[in-house]
Chains A and B, each alone.
Chain A
Amino acid sequence: MEKITSREEVPTKILQALLNQETDITIEDALENEMILNMGPQHPATHGVLRLLLRLDGETVMACVPELGYLHRGYEKMAENMSYYEFIPHTDRLDYLAPMANNVAWVMAVEKLAGIEVPPRAQYIRMMVSELARIASHLLAVGALTMDVGALTVFLWTLREREKILDIWDILCGARFTNSYTRIGGLANDAQPEALAKIKWFIEQFEENMDECERLINTNRIFVERLDSVGVISAEDAIQIGFTGPNLRGSGVEFDLRRATPYMFYNEMDFKIPVYKEGDCLARYFVRCDETRESIKIIRQILDKMPQGEIIANNPKRVLPKKAEIYSKMEELIHDFMIVNFGISPPVGEVYSAVENPKGELGFYLVSKGEGNPWKCKIRSPSMVNLQALPMLVKGHMISDVVAIIGSLDPVMGEADK
Protein backbone atom coordinates (compact mmCIF):
# COMPACT_ATOMS: atom_id res chain seq x y z
CA MET A 1 0.00 0.00 0.00
CA GLU A 2 1.43 3.34 -0.94
CA LYS A 3 2.30 5.80 1.72
CA ILE A 4 0.14 8.87 1.85
CA THR A 5 2.42 11.78 1.18
CA SER A 6 0.08 14.70 1.12
CA ARG A 7 -3.36 15.54 2.36
CA GLU A 8 -4.78 16.04 -1.12
CA GLU A 9 -4.54 12.34 -1.86
CA VAL A 10 -7.10 11.37 0.75
CA PRO A 11 -10.52 10.98 -0.85
CA THR A 12 -13.16 10.40 1.82
CA LYS A 13 -14.49 12.79 4.40
CA ILE A 14 -13.96 10.53 7.36
CA LEU A 15 -10.28 10.16 6.68
CA GLN A 16 -10.03 13.90 6.35
CA ALA A 17 -11.69 14.26 9.72
CA LEU A 18 -9.14 11.86 11.16
CA LEU A 19 -6.19 13.71 9.74
CA ASN A 20 -7.56 17.08 10.72
CA GLN A 21 -7.91 16.16 14.34
CA GLU A 22 -5.64 18.17 16.54
CA THR A 23 -3.29 16.10 18.51
CA ASP A 24 -0.89 17.22 21.14
CA ILE A 25 0.87 13.91 21.37
CA THR A 26 4.41 14.05 20.07
CA ILE A 27 6.86 11.24 20.30
CA GLU A 28 10.58 11.49 19.89
CA ASP A 29 11.15 8.74 17.42
CA ALA A 30 13.86 8.31 14.86
CA LEU A 31 11.55 6.42 12.52
CA GLU A 32 8.72 8.74 11.66
CA ASN A 33 5.95 6.38 10.81
CA GLU A 34 2.36 7.37 11.24
CA MET A 35 -0.13 4.69 10.34
CA ILE A 36 -3.88 4.66 9.87
CA LEU A 37 -5.42 1.54 11.32
CA ASN A 38 -8.97 0.43 10.82
CA MET A 39 -10.52 -1.37 13.77
CA GLY A 40 -13.34 -2.51 11.62
CA PRO A 41 -16.98 -3.14 12.31
CA GLN A 42 -16.30 -6.84 12.74
CA HIS A 43 -13.95 -7.15 15.67
CA PRO A 44 -14.10 -9.36 18.74
CA ALA A 45 -13.43 -6.56 21.16
CA THR A 46 -15.67 -3.75 20.03
CA HIS A 47 -19.04 -4.30 21.61
CA GLY A 48 -21.01 -4.75 18.45
CA VAL A 49 -20.54 -3.09 15.10
CA LEU A 50 -18.44 -0.05 15.79
CA ARG A 51 -15.80 1.10 13.36
CA LEU A 52 -12.79 2.94 14.71
CA LEU A 53 -10.22 4.70 12.61
CA LEU A 54 -7.03 5.17 14.55
CA ARG A 55 -4.02 7.23 13.69
CA LEU A 56 -1.05 5.54 15.28
CA ASP A 57 2.55 6.28 15.87
CA GLY A 58 3.95 2.86 16.59
CA GLU A 59 1.49 1.62 19.13
CA THR A 60 0.41 4.93 20.60
CA VAL A 61 -2.88 6.39 19.50
CA MET A 62 -2.66 9.98 18.34
CA ALA A 63 -6.17 10.49 17.06
CA CYS A 64 -9.30 8.45 16.73
CA VAL A 65 -12.56 8.82 14.83
CA PRO A 66 -15.44 6.42 15.45
CA GLU A 67 -17.94 5.69 12.71
CA LEU A 68 -21.45 4.61 13.60
CA GLY A 69 -24.38 3.66 11.47
CA TYR A 70 -23.72 0.00 10.78
CA LEU A 71 -26.80 -0.94 12.79
CA HIS A 72 -29.03 1.99 11.93
CA ARG A 73 -32.44 0.39 11.60
CA GLY A 74 -34.62 3.43 11.19
CA TYR A 75 -36.45 3.39 14.54
CA GLU A 76 -37.59 6.96 14.49
CA LYS A 77 -39.09 6.71 11.03
CA MET A 78 -40.85 3.49 11.94
CA ALA A 79 -42.27 5.06 15.08
CA GLU A 80 -43.97 7.70 12.97
CA ASN A 81 -45.75 4.98 11.03
CA MET A 82 -47.02 2.75 13.78
CA SER A 83 -49.14 3.27 16.84
CA TYR A 84 -47.87 3.61 20.38
CA TYR A 85 -48.78 0.03 21.23
CA GLU A 86 -47.04 -1.43 18.20
CA PHE A 87 -43.79 0.24 19.12
CA ILE A 88 -43.39 -1.57 22.44
CA PRO A 89 -41.56 -4.64 21.00
CA HIS A 90 -39.23 -2.30 19.13
CA THR A 91 -38.11 -0.66 22.32
CA ASP A 92 -36.88 -4.04 23.55
CA ARG A 93 -34.25 -4.11 20.87
CA LEU A 94 -32.79 -0.72 21.69
CA ASP A 95 -30.59 -1.62 24.62
CA TYR A 96 -30.84 -5.34 24.18
CA LEU A 97 -28.98 -6.18 27.37
CA ALA A 98 -31.69 -4.75 29.62
CA PRO A 99 -34.89 -5.01 27.60
CA MET A 100 -37.41 -4.48 30.37
CA ALA A 101 -35.93 -1.14 31.31
CA ASN A 102 -36.53 0.25 27.82
CA ASN A 103 -40.13 -1.00 27.85
CA VAL A 104 -40.76 0.81 31.09
CA ALA A 105 -39.21 4.01 29.73
CA TRP A 106 -41.42 4.01 26.62
CA VAL A 107 -44.70 3.33 28.36
CA MET A 108 -43.91 5.96 30.95
CA ALA A 109 -43.44 8.52 28.19
CA VAL A 110 -46.69 7.57 26.49
CA GLU A 111 -48.61 7.59 29.76
CA LYS A 112 -47.27 11.04 30.52
CA LEU A 113 -48.38 12.28 27.13
CA ALA A 114 -51.83 10.74 27.34
CA GLY A 115 -52.38 11.41 31.02
CA ILE A 116 -52.96 7.85 32.24
CA GLU A 117 -52.52 6.91 35.91
CA VAL A 118 -50.95 3.55 36.59
CA PRO A 119 -52.03 1.51 39.65
CA PRO A 120 -49.38 1.14 42.39
CA ARG A 121 -48.88 -2.60 42.15
CA ALA A 122 -47.95 -2.28 38.48
CA GLN A 123 -45.49 0.46 39.33
CA TYR A 124 -43.82 -1.66 41.97
CA ILE A 125 -43.48 -4.61 39.62
CA ARG A 126 -42.12 -2.28 36.93
CA MET A 127 -39.50 -1.01 39.37
CA MET A 128 -38.57 -4.55 40.26
CA VAL A 129 -38.05 -5.69 36.68
CA SER A 130 -36.09 -2.51 35.92
CA GLU A 131 -33.74 -3.25 38.75
CA LEU A 132 -33.40 -6.86 37.60
CA ALA A 133 -32.58 -5.53 34.14
CA ARG A 134 -29.98 -3.27 35.68
CA ILE A 135 -28.33 -6.24 37.37
CA ALA A 136 -28.40 -8.27 34.15
CA SER A 137 -26.88 -5.47 32.12
CA HIS A 138 -24.13 -4.74 34.62
CA LEU A 139 -23.29 -8.44 34.89
CA LEU A 140 -22.73 -8.62 31.16
CA ALA A 141 -20.80 -5.34 31.16
CA VAL A 142 -18.46 -6.53 33.88
CA GLY A 143 -18.08 -9.90 32.20
CA ALA A 144 -17.32 -8.40 28.80
CA LEU A 145 -14.85 -5.92 30.27
CA THR A 146 -12.92 -8.64 32.05
CA MET A 147 -13.03 -10.86 28.98
CA ASP A 148 -11.56 -8.07 26.89
CA VAL A 149 -8.84 -7.50 29.42
CA GLY A 150 -8.05 -11.20 29.54
CA ALA A 151 -9.87 -12.90 32.40
CA LEU A 152 -12.17 -15.34 30.62
CA THR A 153 -13.48 -17.20 33.65
CA VAL A 154 -15.35 -14.23 35.08
CA PHE A 155 -17.29 -13.88 31.84
CA LEU A 156 -18.68 -17.39 32.15
CA TRP A 157 -19.51 -16.90 35.82
CA THR A 158 -21.42 -13.68 35.24
CA LEU A 159 -23.25 -15.27 32.31
CA ARG A 160 -24.30 -18.05 34.65
CA GLU A 161 -25.84 -15.50 37.02
CA ARG A 162 -27.50 -13.76 34.10
CA GLU A 163 -29.09 -17.03 33.02
CA LYS A 164 -30.89 -17.15 36.36
CA ILE A 165 -32.38 -13.72 35.71
CA LEU A 166 -33.42 -14.79 32.22
CA ASP A 167 -35.17 -17.78 33.78
CA ILE A 168 -37.08 -15.43 36.07
CA TRP A 169 -38.20 -13.38 33.10
CA ASP A 170 -39.19 -16.55 31.30
CA ILE A 171 -41.61 -17.42 34.11
CA LEU A 172 -42.90 -13.85 34.41
CA CYS A 173 -43.83 -13.17 30.84
CA GLY A 174 -42.97 -16.09 28.60
CA ALA A 175 -39.85 -14.85 26.84
CA ARG A 176 -36.29 -15.05 28.04
CA PHE A 177 -35.08 -11.99 26.34
CA THR A 178 -36.70 -9.17 24.39
CA ASN A 179 -39.88 -9.57 26.37
CA SER A 180 -42.45 -6.85 25.88
CA TYR A 181 -43.82 -7.10 29.36
CA THR A 182 -45.28 -3.66 29.92
CA ARG A 183 -48.42 -2.31 28.36
CA ILE A 184 -49.70 1.23 28.24
CA GLY A 185 -51.48 1.63 31.54
CA GLY A 186 -49.85 -1.25 33.37
CA LEU A 187 -48.46 -4.67 32.66
CA ALA A 188 -49.33 -7.59 30.45
CA ASN A 189 -49.99 -10.00 33.31
CA ASP A 190 -49.57 -10.21 37.03
CA ALA A 191 -46.41 -11.58 38.67
CA GLN A 192 -47.00 -15.22 39.45
CA PRO A 193 -46.13 -16.59 42.92
CA GLU A 194 -43.46 -18.85 41.39
CA ALA A 195 -41.77 -15.84 39.85
CA LEU A 196 -41.77 -13.97 43.15
CA ALA A 197 -40.41 -17.00 44.98
CA LYS A 198 -37.67 -17.37 42.40
CA ILE A 199 -36.74 -13.70 42.69
CA LYS A 200 -36.49 -14.12 46.44
CA TRP A 201 -34.23 -17.14 46.00
CA PHE A 202 -32.11 -15.26 43.49
CA ILE A 203 -31.40 -12.27 45.71
CA GLU A 204 -30.47 -14.53 48.61
CA GLN A 205 -27.70 -16.22 46.70
CA PHE A 206 -26.56 -13.41 44.43
CA GLU A 207 -24.36 -11.46 46.83
CA GLU A 208 -21.97 -14.27 47.56
CA ASN A 209 -21.67 -15.21 43.88
CA MET A 210 -20.87 -11.61 43.03
CA ASP A 211 -18.30 -11.54 45.82
CA GLU A 212 -16.75 -14.66 44.38
CA CYS A 213 -16.45 -13.08 40.93
CA GLU A 214 -14.94 -9.93 42.39
CA ARG A 215 -12.49 -11.78 44.58
CA LEU A 216 -10.96 -13.29 41.47
CA ILE A 217 -10.02 -10.03 39.86
CA ASN A 218 -10.11 -7.10 42.25
CA THR A 219 -6.70 -7.76 43.71
CA ASN A 220 -5.20 -9.23 40.57
CA ARG A 221 -2.25 -7.12 39.62
CA ILE A 222 -2.70 -7.51 35.88
CA PHE A 223 -6.32 -6.48 35.97
CA VAL A 224 -5.71 -3.45 38.15
CA GLU A 225 -2.72 -2.25 36.19
CA ARG A 226 -4.55 -2.56 32.92
CA LEU A 227 -7.41 -0.41 34.10
CA ASP A 228 -5.88 1.99 36.57
CA SER A 229 -5.41 5.55 35.24
CA VAL A 230 -6.53 4.51 31.79
CA GLY A 231 -9.09 6.70 30.10
CA VAL A 232 -9.33 9.39 32.74
CA ILE A 233 -12.05 12.00 32.37
CA SER A 234 -12.61 14.84 34.79
CA ALA A 235 -16.00 15.77 36.21
CA GLU A 236 -16.23 19.00 34.20
CA ASP A 237 -15.41 17.27 30.95
CA ALA A 238 -17.84 14.49 31.71
CA ILE A 239 -20.75 16.90 32.15
CA GLN A 240 -19.66 18.86 29.09
CA ILE A 241 -19.63 15.75 26.90
CA GLY A 242 -23.03 14.71 28.22
CA PHE A 243 -22.28 11.59 30.22
CA THR A 244 -25.01 10.21 32.42
CA GLY A 245 -25.27 7.03 34.40
CA PRO A 246 -22.36 4.97 35.77
CA ASN A 247 -19.83 6.76 33.57
CA LEU A 248 -20.67 10.10 35.18
CA ARG A 249 -20.70 8.61 38.66
CA GLY A 250 -17.25 7.16 38.04
CA SER A 251 -15.94 10.69 37.61
CA GLY A 252 -17.15 12.03 40.90
CA VAL A 253 -20.49 13.66 40.03
CA GLU A 254 -23.31 12.43 42.21
CA PHE A 255 -26.18 12.50 39.77
CA ASP A 256 -28.81 9.83 39.47
CA LEU A 257 -32.17 10.41 37.82
CA ARG A 258 -33.84 8.21 40.40
CA ARG A 259 -32.94 10.81 43.03
CA ALA A 260 -32.87 14.03 41.00
CA THR A 261 -36.23 13.66 39.26
CA PRO A 262 -37.88 10.74 41.05
CA TYR A 263 -40.38 8.64 39.14
CA MET A 264 -42.52 5.67 40.14
CA PHE A 265 -41.86 5.01 43.83
CA TYR A 266 -38.13 5.53 44.00
CA ASN A 267 -38.41 8.31 46.54
CA GLU A 268 -39.70 5.76 49.06
CA MET A 269 -36.81 3.37 48.56
CA ASP A 270 -33.67 3.54 50.61
CA PHE A 271 -30.51 3.05 48.55
CA LYS A 272 -27.10 4.62 48.17
CA ILE A 273 -25.59 6.02 45.01
CA PRO A 274 -22.02 4.75 44.52
CA VAL A 275 -19.67 7.51 43.41
CA TYR A 276 -15.93 7.22 42.75
CA LYS A 277 -13.77 10.22 42.12
CA GLU A 278 -10.91 9.02 39.98
CA GLY A 279 -12.62 8.95 36.60
CA ASP A 280 -10.66 6.08 35.13
CA CYS A 281 -11.75 2.64 33.89
CA LEU A 282 -11.31 1.05 37.30
CA ALA A 283 -13.66 3.59 38.90
CA ARG A 284 -16.38 2.89 36.33
CA TYR A 285 -15.97 -0.84 36.90
CA PHE A 286 -16.36 -0.40 40.66
CA VAL A 287 -19.44 1.78 40.19
CA ARG A 288 -21.10 -0.98 38.21
CA CYS A 289 -20.25 -3.67 40.74
CA ASP A 290 -21.60 -1.58 43.59
CA GLU A 291 -24.75 -0.72 41.70
CA THR A 292 -25.71 -4.36 41.44
CA ARG A 293 -25.62 -4.62 45.21
CA GLU A 294 -27.76 -1.51 45.62
CA SER A 295 -30.26 -2.98 43.18
CA ILE A 296 -30.50 -6.09 45.34
CA LYS A 297 -31.36 -3.88 48.29
CA ILE A 298 -34.07 -2.13 46.30
CA ILE A 299 -35.60 -5.43 45.18
CA ARG A 300 -35.68 -6.66 48.75
CA GLN A 301 -37.59 -3.54 49.82
CA ILE A 302 -39.97 -3.86 46.90
CA LEU A 303 -40.80 -7.46 47.77
CA ASP A 304 -41.70 -6.31 51.28
CA LYS A 305 -43.71 -3.29 50.28
CA MET A 306 -45.61 -4.46 47.23
CA PRO A 307 -49.38 -3.98 47.64
CA GLN A 308 -52.06 -6.20 46.18
CA GLY A 309 -54.34 -4.77 43.54
CA GLU A 310 -54.92 -4.15 39.89
CA ILE A 311 -52.11 -4.25 37.43
CA ILE A 312 -53.63 -2.28 34.60
CA ALA A 313 -55.40 1.04 34.61
CA ASN A 314 -59.10 1.37 34.02
CA ASN A 315 -59.30 3.87 31.20
CA PRO A 316 -61.46 2.39 28.46
CA LYS A 317 -60.58 4.87 25.74
CA ARG A 318 -56.82 4.46 26.03
CA VAL A 319 -56.02 1.15 27.72
CA LEU A 320 -56.68 -2.24 26.19
CA PRO A 321 -59.38 -4.12 28.14
CA LYS A 322 -58.95 -7.62 29.54
CA LYS A 323 -59.01 -10.49 27.07
CA ALA A 324 -61.79 -12.42 28.81
CA GLU A 325 -64.07 -9.42 28.68
CA ILE A 326 -63.37 -8.71 25.02
CA TYR A 327 -64.74 -12.07 24.06
CA SER A 328 -67.89 -11.76 26.12
CA LYS A 329 -68.96 -8.11 26.38
CA MET A 330 -69.90 -5.65 23.65
CA GLU A 331 -68.36 -2.39 24.85
CA GLU A 332 -64.98 -3.91 25.50
CA LEU A 333 -65.01 -5.40 22.02
CA ILE A 334 -65.64 -2.00 20.48
CA HIS A 335 -62.96 -0.31 22.57
CA ASP A 336 -60.46 -3.01 21.67
CA PHE A 337 -61.25 -2.58 17.97
CA MET A 338 -60.86 1.18 18.13
CA ILE A 339 -57.64 1.12 20.10
CA VAL A 340 -55.96 -1.54 17.99
CA ASN A 341 -56.93 -0.06 14.65
CA PHE A 342 -56.85 3.64 15.26
CA GLY A 343 -54.48 3.88 18.18
CA ILE A 344 -54.83 5.77 21.40
CA SER A 345 -55.11 9.41 20.51
CA PRO A 346 -53.35 11.50 23.07
CA PRO A 347 -54.04 15.26 23.13
CA VAL A 348 -51.93 17.63 21.05
CA GLY A 349 -48.64 18.38 22.76
CA GLU A 350 -45.14 17.18 23.39
CA VAL A 351 -43.36 15.52 26.24
CA TYR A 352 -39.83 14.46 27.10
CA SER A 353 -39.53 11.69 29.62
CA ALA A 354 -36.28 10.19 30.81
CA VAL A 355 -35.43 7.28 33.09
CA GLU A 356 -32.21 5.99 34.58
CA ASN A 357 -31.23 3.06 32.38
CA PRO A 358 -28.24 0.89 33.21
CA LYS A 359 -26.22 2.68 30.53
CA GLY A 360 -27.27 6.20 31.34
CA GLU A 361 -30.30 8.35 30.71
CA LEU A 362 -32.72 7.01 28.13
CA GLY A 363 -35.11 9.69 27.01
CA PHE A 364 -38.08 9.68 24.66
CA TYR A 365 -39.26 12.93 23.11
CA LEU A 366 -42.77 12.51 21.74
CA VAL A 367 -44.70 15.04 19.70
CA SER A 368 -48.35 14.29 19.19
CA LYS A 369 -50.81 15.91 16.81
CA GLY A 370 -53.82 14.08 18.20
CA GLU A 371 -53.55 11.06 15.90
CA GLY A 372 -52.93 7.40 16.66
CA ASN A 373 -49.30 7.54 15.55
CA PRO A 374 -46.76 9.89 17.07
CA TRP A 375 -45.84 12.79 14.80
CA LYS A 376 -42.27 12.59 15.96
CA CYS A 377 -40.40 10.30 18.30
CA LYS A 378 -36.81 11.01 19.25
CA ILE A 379 -34.83 8.49 21.22
CA ARG A 380 -32.08 10.01 23.31
CA SER A 381 -29.76 7.09 23.63
CA PRO A 382 -27.05 7.10 26.30
CA SER A 383 -24.65 4.90 24.36
CA MET A 384 -24.28 7.39 21.53
CA VAL A 385 -23.31 10.11 23.96
CA ASN A 386 -20.94 7.79 25.80
CA LEU A 387 -19.21 6.91 22.56
CA GLN A 388 -18.74 10.55 21.72
CA ALA A 389 -16.13 10.77 24.46
CA LEU A 390 -14.02 8.03 22.93
CA PRO A 391 -11.69 10.23 20.83
CA MET A 392 -10.95 12.29 23.90
CA LEU A 393 -10.25 9.33 26.13
CA VAL A 394 -7.92 7.28 23.95
CA LYS A 395 -5.44 10.02 23.08
CA GLY A 396 -1.98 9.02 24.16
CA HIS A 397 -2.81 5.44 25.13
CA MET A 398 -1.85 2.20 23.44
CA ILE A 399 -4.07 0.07 21.24
CA SER A 400 -4.74 -2.46 23.97
CA ASP A 401 -5.99 0.37 26.16
CA VAL A 402 -8.55 1.25 23.51
CA VAL A 403 -10.17 -2.12 24.10
CA ALA A 404 -10.25 -1.59 27.86
CA ILE A 405 -11.73 1.91 27.47
CA ILE A 406 -14.50 0.75 25.17
CA GLY A 407 -15.29 -2.03 27.63
CA SER A 408 -15.52 0.36 30.53
CA LEU A 409 -17.76 2.82 28.66
CA ASP A 410 -20.06 -0.09 27.90
CA PRO A 411 -21.72 0.95 24.65
CA VAL A 412 -24.52 -1.02 23.05
CA MET A 413 -24.68 -0.46 19.33
CA GLY A 414 -28.36 -1.22 19.02
CA GLU A 415 -28.98 1.88 21.07
CA ALA A 416 -26.22 4.07 19.69
CA ASP A 417 -27.31 3.55 16.11
CA LYS A 418 -31.04 3.48 16.70
Chain B
Amino acid sequence: MDLKELVTYKLKEKFPEVEFDITDYKEQLAVTFGKKNIVNVASFLKDDPDLQFKLCEDVTAIDWARRKNRFTVVYHIFSLKLNSRIRLKSDVDESDLSVDSVAFVWKTADWHERETYDMYGIIFNNHPDFRRMYMPEEFEYYPLRKDFPLMGIPGSLPLPKKDE
Protein backbone atom coordinates (compact mmCIF):
# COMPACT_ATOMS: atom_id res chain seq x y z
CA MET B 1 0.00 0.00 0.00
CA ASP B 2 1.25 3.49 -0.54
CA LEU B 3 2.48 5.83 2.12
CA LYS B 4 -0.77 7.62 2.90
CA GLU B 5 -2.73 4.43 3.50
CA LEU B 6 0.05 2.86 5.53
CA VAL B 7 0.43 5.82 7.83
CA THR B 8 -3.33 6.30 8.22
CA TYR B 9 -3.87 2.66 9.08
CA LYS B 10 -1.03 2.50 11.57
CA LEU B 11 -1.94 5.72 13.36
CA LYS B 12 -5.61 4.88 13.61
CA GLU B 13 -4.77 1.44 14.91
CA LYS B 14 -2.42 2.61 17.63
CA PHE B 15 -4.16 5.82 18.69
CA PRO B 16 -7.91 5.30 18.21
CA GLU B 17 -8.86 8.13 20.54
CA VAL B 18 -6.84 10.87 18.79
CA GLU B 19 -8.28 12.72 15.82
CA PHE B 20 -5.92 12.83 12.89
CA ASP B 21 -6.41 15.05 9.90
CA ILE B 22 -4.34 13.64 7.06
CA THR B 23 -3.96 15.67 3.87
CA ASP B 24 -1.96 15.08 0.74
CA TYR B 25 -1.11 18.33 -1.06
CA LYS B 26 1.30 18.06 -3.99
CA GLU B 27 2.25 14.53 -2.93
CA GLN B 28 3.39 15.66 0.51
CA LEU B 29 1.67 14.03 3.44
CA ALA B 30 0.69 16.22 6.40
CA VAL B 31 -0.81 14.94 9.65
CA THR B 32 -2.52 17.36 12.03
CA PHE B 33 -3.44 16.45 15.59
CA GLY B 34 -3.77 17.91 19.07
CA LYS B 35 -0.68 19.02 20.89
CA LYS B 36 -1.11 16.76 23.95
CA ASN B 37 -0.12 13.67 22.01
CA ILE B 38 3.01 14.92 20.28
CA VAL B 39 5.53 12.88 22.22
CA ASN B 40 3.54 9.65 21.98
CA VAL B 41 2.92 9.94 18.26
CA ALA B 42 6.53 10.93 17.62
CA SER B 43 7.98 7.98 19.54
CA PHE B 44 5.59 5.60 17.84
CA LEU B 45 6.51 6.85 14.39
CA LYS B 46 10.17 6.51 15.21
CA ASP B 47 10.12 3.07 16.79
CA ASP B 48 7.60 1.20 14.69
CA PRO B 49 9.49 -1.37 12.55
CA ASP B 50 7.49 -0.75 9.39
CA LEU B 51 7.73 3.03 9.47
CA GLN B 52 11.06 3.93 11.18
CA PHE B 53 10.96 7.70 10.87
CA LYS B 54 14.37 8.12 12.39
CA LEU B 55 15.62 11.31 10.80
CA CYS B 56 14.02 14.49 12.06
CA GLU B 57 14.73 17.18 9.56
CA ASP B 58 13.07 20.29 10.90
CA VAL B 59 11.05 21.75 13.74
CA THR B 60 9.47 25.12 13.26
CA ALA B 61 6.34 27.16 13.87
CA ILE B 62 3.98 29.35 11.86
CA ASP B 63 2.36 32.51 13.15
CA TRP B 64 -1.05 32.91 11.57
CA ALA B 65 -1.81 36.28 13.21
CA ARG B 66 -5.35 35.34 14.11
CA ARG B 67 -7.06 35.31 17.49
CA LYS B 68 -7.73 31.62 17.96
CA ASN B 69 -4.90 29.08 17.59
CA ARG B 70 -2.36 31.67 16.63
CA PHE B 71 0.62 29.35 16.18
CA THR B 72 1.15 25.97 14.55
CA VAL B 73 4.17 23.85 15.38
CA VAL B 74 5.44 21.88 12.39
CA TYR B 75 7.77 18.86 12.35
CA HIS B 76 9.30 17.32 9.22
CA ILE B 77 10.49 13.74 9.60
CA PHE B 78 12.07 11.37 7.13
CA SER B 79 12.20 7.61 6.96
CA LEU B 80 15.31 6.05 5.47
CA LYS B 81 13.50 2.75 5.05
CA LEU B 82 10.57 4.10 3.02
CA ASN B 83 12.55 7.01 1.47
CA SER B 84 9.77 9.43 2.19
CA ARG B 85 8.87 12.36 4.31
CA ILE B 86 5.83 13.36 6.32
CA ARG B 87 4.89 16.53 8.12
CA LEU B 88 3.33 16.68 11.60
CA LYS B 89 1.43 19.77 12.60
CA SER B 90 -0.36 20.83 15.73
CA ASP B 91 -2.00 24.06 16.75
CA VAL B 92 -0.97 26.07 19.78
CA ASP B 93 -3.13 28.76 21.29
CA GLU B 94 -1.69 31.99 22.62
CA SER B 95 -3.20 31.48 26.05
CA ASP B 96 -1.27 28.26 26.66
CA LEU B 97 1.95 28.77 24.75
CA SER B 98 3.76 25.59 25.66
CA VAL B 99 4.37 22.29 23.96
CA ASP B 100 6.11 19.12 25.09
CA SER B 101 9.59 18.79 23.74
CA VAL B 102 10.62 15.91 21.50
CA ALA B 103 14.32 16.40 22.16
CA PHE B 104 14.46 13.01 23.84
CA VAL B 105 12.98 11.28 20.83
CA TRP B 106 15.20 12.89 18.18
CA LYS B 107 18.33 14.67 19.31
CA THR B 108 18.19 17.05 16.36
CA ALA B 109 15.11 18.68 17.75
CA ASP B 110 17.17 20.19 20.58
CA TRP B 111 18.56 23.15 18.67
CA HIS B 112 15.57 23.49 16.37
CA GLU B 113 13.28 23.91 19.37
CA ARG B 114 15.61 26.50 20.87
CA GLU B 115 15.46 28.39 17.61
CA THR B 116 11.66 28.21 17.56
CA TYR B 117 11.56 29.57 21.10
CA ASP B 118 13.94 32.35 20.16
CA MET B 119 11.94 33.39 17.13
CA TYR B 120 8.35 32.82 18.30
CA GLY B 121 8.30 32.51 22.05
CA ILE B 122 6.81 29.03 22.24
CA ILE B 123 7.98 27.29 25.39
CA PHE B 124 9.01 23.65 25.18
CA ASN B 125 8.54 21.65 28.37
CA ASN B 126 11.26 19.27 29.54
CA HIS B 127 13.84 20.65 27.18
CA PRO B 128 17.42 19.68 28.19
CA ASP B 129 18.99 23.10 27.66
CA PHE B 130 16.50 25.88 27.22
CA ARG B 131 17.86 29.26 26.21
CA ARG B 132 17.89 31.54 23.20
CA MET B 133 19.65 30.53 20.07
CA TYR B 134 20.48 33.49 17.83
CA MET B 135 19.56 36.71 19.56
CA PRO B 136 21.47 37.79 22.68
CA GLU B 137 20.11 36.62 26.03
CA GLU B 138 18.96 40.08 27.05
CA PHE B 139 16.75 40.56 23.99
CA GLU B 140 13.14 40.87 25.08
CA TYR B 141 11.17 40.34 21.93
CA TYR B 142 10.45 37.45 19.59
CA PRO B 143 11.53 38.52 16.10
CA LEU B 144 9.54 36.30 13.75
CA ARG B 145 6.14 37.13 15.19
CA LYS B 146 4.02 39.15 12.84
CA ASP B 147 3.78 42.11 15.19
CA PHE B 148 7.55 42.65 15.32
CA PRO B 149 8.66 45.16 12.65
CA LEU B 150 11.32 44.23 10.12
CA MET B 151 13.72 46.97 11.12
CA GLY B 152 13.45 46.04 14.75
CA ILE B 153 12.61 48.16 17.74
CA PRO B 154 15.18 50.96 18.15
CA GLY B 155 17.10 50.61 21.37
CA SER B 156 16.45 46.93 21.85
CA LEU B 157 19.95 46.00 20.68
CA PRO B 158 22.67 48.36 21.96
CA LEU B 159 25.77 49.31 19.97
CA PRO B 160 29.23 50.01 21.35
CA LYS B 161 30.02 53.69 21.68
CA LYS B 162 32.04 55.42 18.99
CA ASP B 163 35.02 57.38 20.33
CA GLU B 164 36.13 60.37 18.26
Contacts and interface: CB of A to CB of B under 8 A. Distances in A.
Direct contact between A and B in the complex (CB less than 8 angstroms)? yes
Interface of A: 12-14, 17, 20, 68-69, 72, 74, 76-78, 81, 112-113, 239-242, 244, 253, 255, 260-261, 349-352, 354, 361, 363, 365, 367, 375-376, 378, 380, 384-385, 388, 417-418
A242 B25 contact: no
Given A13-B131, A69-B135, A76-B119, A242 B107 contact: yes
B26 interface: yes
B55 interface: yes
A112 B28 CA distance: 11
B87 interface: yes
A333 to B, nearest CB: 31
B150 A81 contact: yes
Closest 3 CB pairs of A and B: A242-B108, A69-B134, A72-B134
A120 B6 CA distance: 34
Interface of B: 25-26, 28, 30, 54-58, 60, 62-63, 74, 76, 80, 83-85, 87, 106-108, 110-111, 115, 119, 129, 131-137, 143-144, 148, 150
Contact of B137 (A14, A20, A112, A361): A14
B131 A14 contact: yes
Nearest to B111: A388
Most-contacted residue by chain A among B54, B84, B129 (CB, 10 A): B129
Contact of B26 (A69, A351, A361, A380): A351
User: Helix, strand, loop or mixed for chain A's interface?
Assistant: mixed
B25 A350 contact: yes
B136 A363 contact: no
27 contacts: A14-B131, A14-B137, A17-B131, A20-B129, A69-B136, A72-B135, A74-B143, A74-B150, A76-B144, A77-B143, A81-B150, A239-B54, A240-B54, A240-B107, A260-B83, A261-B84, A261-B85, A352-B28, A352-B58, A352-B85, A354-B57, A365-B74, A376-B62, A384-B115, A385-B108, A417-B134, A418-B134
A384 B111 contact: yes
Nearest to B64: A375
Contacts of A68: 133-134
A338 B111 CA distance: 40
Contact of B110 (A69, A81, A388): A388
A241 B134 contact: no
Nearest to A71: B134
Contact of A13 (B25, B63, B137, B144): B137
B150 to A, nearest CB: 5
Nearest to A74: B143
B76 A352 contact: yes
A240 B106 contact: yes
